[in-house]
Amino acid sequence: MFELPSMWNLIVSTIVFIIAAWYLHRFLEEQGIPKGMTRGLLVFVIASLVSWGAGAGVDWTQEKIEGPRPAAKTTDDLSQLLKVVVPAQP
């Protein structure tokens, strides 16, 4: 199930994205690849993948340290809440 990323995940993945994009721009410039849409897209995709991997590593590390997060509420809890909030129609 989809979980919201932690604050550490956002901070680390943002920093890693910036560093990876800078390094890739520099590397491709040294290789003589001309600037353009394709090069920009390549840098974005690779930096995004590296950033995503770093964020996943942060989440994995955090789970190993703190333990797994509790399960999310189920739809049964929501239906019980609706029964309390919205009384039955006569």
pLDDT digits (tens, 9 = 90+) for 33-70: 999 999 999 999 999 999 999 999 998 888 888 777 66
Cβ(26)–Cβ(39) below 8 Å = no
- With respect to residue 32, please indicate whether it lies within any of the assigned structural domains: yes
pLDDT of res. 50: 97
- With respect to residue 33, please indicate whether it lies within any of the assigned structural domains: yes
Dihedral angle over CA of 10, 60, 49, 32, nearest 10: 90
Domain count within the chain: 1
- Structure tokens that stand for 20 in this block: 């990876």
- With respect to residue 2, please indicate whether it lies within any of the assigned structural domains: no
Cβ(24)–Cβ(43) below 8 Å = yes
- With respect to residue 90, please indicate whether it lies within any of the assigned structural domains: no
- With respect to residue 19, please indicate whether it lies within any of the assigned structural domains: yes
- With respect to residue 1, please indicate whether it lies within any of the assigned structural domains: no
- With respect to residue 34, please indicate whether it lies within any of the assigned structural domains: yes
The secondary structure of 11-28 as a DSSP string is HHHHHHHHHHHHHHHHHH
- Structure tokens that stand for 35 in this block: 């600037």
Domain enclosing residue 80, as ranges: 7-85
CB neighbour list of residue 13: distance below 8 Å, 6 or more residues apart = 5, 51, 52, 54, 55, 58
- With respect to residue 75, please indicate whether it lies within any of the assigned structural domains: yes
Mean pLDDT of the chain: 83
